[in-house]
A and B are shown apart, each in its own frame.
Chain A
Amino acid sequence: MSPEMNKVSKKSDFPGSLLRNQLFIPFAALFILLVFNLIADPSFFKITMSQSNAGNAVLLGPIITILDNGSELAILAIGMTLVTAATGGQDISVGAAIAIAGSTLLRVLCGTNTRPDTLRTTVFAAFLISVLVAMAFGAFNGMLVAIFKIQPMVATLILYTAGRSIAAWINNNELPIISTQASPTFAYYGGYIPGIPIPTPFFIAAACVVVILLVLKFTNLGLYTQAVGINESSSRLNGLNPVFIKWLTFVILGVCVAVAALIKVSRLSSINYSVIAKDIEMDAILAVALGGNALSGGKFNMVASIIGAYVIQMLTTTLYKFQVPSDALPAYKAVVVILLVVFSAPAVREKLERMDIGRSKKTGGVRA
């Protein structure tokens, strides 16, 4: 629903509506990063075809890396956007929840044998079970937030703290490894499918985006979450069940977590409980914010969040490319966050809009 609305507003007067358009900030950030890379090092846009370890012809290059590595973030941004819209808070446990879902996946596939020769079940069945587990943990978070009215960040702090221990406990603190002998296809989810030169995670993320856009189009998920996020009391008097809707967004985020976990685990064919998806929750929240969505809930634009996710990945990849050590990465990201927060702060936006109105008055611009 939201993307359509933006189309409508794009038709109206040029400079003002563009500034106010929610897609402006993420696209502007994307544009700035692209221009920066173009000037600093045009090789950023180079895409080459080469042989992978498995002997496939695959595409390589920074742009491909962004589309590949940004997948988990884009998937999480979907769920995080819904949680933010309905509850006006964020889930900070998604990284830990990925560890749990990933651990579950391996446990189901490997059993107690950490170096299995054959998998105990199909990857699909194991994935379904990890989805259920991730949904259950989402439901737990959702219960704390929706029923017990605990602040989302505090409620999810519990799983943030305990999640990685739970993940380790699921596999008795062992690190199962799925070899190519055990399953030649398991690595496809986080790598390449033979014959297709584009990384699989990109397709998975694209599928998730298509699914959520279809859901938003063919159900009232968007209307309900926004209504609850904007005015809970009024939503209730219009027959909605705000408690259920808030809870539901956490469960949906759980599904996103399980999908992201499949990609993460497949990339390694194993798991590292303390490192897997570390700090991804902050990037997911940042993606929502970068998409111009109010972190206090209410109206959202799903496409903007997803673009926001890829912008963050592009920033990370750019910094790596310029050999910024990974320890220093957060500091650089912080600069971006500061700029972003200041730029989207109501006080600054008002000023920008006032400037804009002033200008259109001077030039005799006609406003609707």
Chain B
Amino acid sequence: MKENAILQLTGIYKSFPGVKALQNVDFNLCKGEIHALMGENGAGKSTLIKVLTGVYTKDEGEIYLDSHVEPVAIRSPQDAQHFGISTVYQEITLCPNLSVAENIYIGRTDGIYQNWKKMNEGARKMLQSLEIPVEPTTQLGSCSIAVQQMVAIARAVDMDCKVLILDEPTSSLDDQEVQKLFRLMRELKQRGVGIIFVTHFLDQVYEVCDKITVLRDGQLVGEYEIKDLPRVQLVSKMLGKELDDMSDIKSESSAPAELEKADVIFEAKDLCSNAGIKPFDFYIKKGEVNGFTGLLGSGRSECVRAIFGADRVTGGTVKKNGKTIKIQKPIDAMKNGIAYLPEDRKIDGIVGDLSVRENIILALQVMKGFFKPFTKAQANAFADEYIKLLSIKTASADTPIKSLSGGNQQKCIIARWLLTHPEYLILDEPTRGIDVGTKVDIQKLVLKLASEGMSVTFISSETDEMLRTCSRLIVMRDRKVVGELSGDDLTQTKIMSTIAGNEEEKK
């Protein structure tokens, strides 16, 4: 084990049926170090953390800890805690109806007697030493999320943790609260705690971390000192594209000249929603394919959700063909010819127990109205038409949609929206988690629809997909629109540098 190291993982393998989640991953953490663990969705970050905290058992590999000479076996979260590894998750896992002090000491008292005075006193001392502004007797649920998170950290610290894992702790905090959290993290760093910090916010990584480990597709990309890895490099390592071999891929969609002349169909100004995005402007022309790009959590989905009325719109105006329209809930958007394929197919897309047929006709049926159900024959005709058109593989239209494969489920949802004959189709990650063949099908379909005059917004984590389909890209970072690229600017390099942000400009 290296000098100063408190945690060392070597050659970790973990696979699930059909997925190699981790392959030969190494990870090192030193005393008094804040270490960022970075990677896009599915890169293996959470699997690695779950292996480390005993939620999953590793298939192969060794974990070395501070004072132990032999590799240790972490078989359960209790084991992990016993070894001094504590985790604070994005969602608070404490008990909101107990007091702060009770939360800190819960499950750690000796016997059944509890000296309340001593407990509160101890908690107060510790909270003061960590400069957490809360009374130990306050009920936890009444504190802000930030304070709750700090209490969770305090609990971890009090249990003599040597390794603290912070899994996306900042996603529900505002800027000020994030600063408070960072102060606490630096304080712990001084005390020699090693912190593993998982986040999607690049700025935060560069503000507080010392080292970065990047994972991609379950494999280790590398470990870097923060000063040796500029943002652009980090983004390219996360996405898996070396800067050198990023060739220009020309968009195949309608000719730019034609688009120049096309009318703007939808236009938004200062639009914002309760999902926490900064107000943004937006427009799309008839027959145009544009896209929102940015890292996960940058606010891509939130933007289109605001346009569709899926989140509560808190400000701004939307115009259709120059006339102001009011979109407060999805049905308003649907009636104005907008369709939205949501990012999370399972949670927001499919209605699992209903049949393929019912899933396909659902949106059109809702638009048609409560008292006008389609006849069985009509519904069957619609379903059969789109099952054929999109070659959806299903035993029959009666099959529950949940028993279809992911790609075919996604095709059903696309069919659902195509059936409403929208003027503007929003596809949020339509290709995530589906097989390559279907991905290509969907991209082709998008281009075909656009050539027929439909406006499409296409969002994907895979940049080359976006480059292939979109003629204009809106770039987002930290819930803000930070740039717009079109024409010759549509290159991997340019996208990445815009996502990463100009470092000089920031200072």
Contacts and interface: CB of A to CB of B under 8 A. Distances in A.
A227 B351 contact: yes
- Residue among B308, B352, B354, B416 with most chain A CB within 10 A: B354
A226 B330 contact: no
Chain A interface bracket (under 10, 10 to 19, 20 to 34, 35 or more): 20 to 34
Contacts, number: 79
A341 B76 CA distance: 33
A230 B348 CA distance: 11
B303 interface: no
Task: Say what secondary structure dominates the interface of chain A.
Answer: helix
Contacts of B367: 239
B116 interface: no
A249 to B, nearest CB: 13
B396 to A, nearest CB: 8
A140 to B, nearest CB: 23
Contacts of A237: 308, 310, 330, 340, 342, 348-349
Contacts of B365: 220, 223
A231 B359 CA distance: 11
Contact of A231 (B329, B350, B363, B371): B350
Contact of B395 (A224, A233, A368): A368
A98 B19 CA distance: 56
A230 B398 contact: no
Contacts of B476: none
B373 A223 contact: yes
Interface string B347-366: 11111111000100011011
A368 B399 CA distance: 11
A200 B398 CA distance: 39
A236 B354 CA distance: 16
A274 interface: no
A219 B370 contact: yes
A240 B366 contact: yes
B400 to A, nearest CB: 9
Chain B interface bracket (under 10, 10 to 19, 20 to 34, 35 or more): 20 to 34
A246 interface: no
Given A227-B351, A241-B329, A219 B371 contact: yes
B366 A238 contact: yes
A223 B330 contact: no
A231 to B, nearest CB: 5
Interface string A120-153: 0000000000000000000000000000000000
A5 B398 contact: yes
Interface string A265-285: 000000000000000000000
Interface string B365-401: 1110111110010000000000000000001001000
A14 interface: no
Contacts of A233: 347-348
Contact of A234 (B347, B371, B373): B347
Nearest to B352: A230
B352 A220 contact: no
A360 interface: no
A236 B373 contact: no
A239 B376 contact: no
15 contacts: A217-B373, A218-B373, A223-B373, A227-B362, A233-B348, A234-B347, A234-B351, A237-B340, A237-B348, A238-B416, A239-B329, A239-B363, A241-B329, A241-B331, A299-B353
Interface of B: 308, 310, 329-331, 334, 340, 342, 347-354, 358, 362-363, 365-367, 369-373, 376, 395, 398, 416
Nearest 6 A-B pairs (CB), nearest first? A239-B331, A239-B366, A231-B351, A238-B363, A239-B334, A230-B351
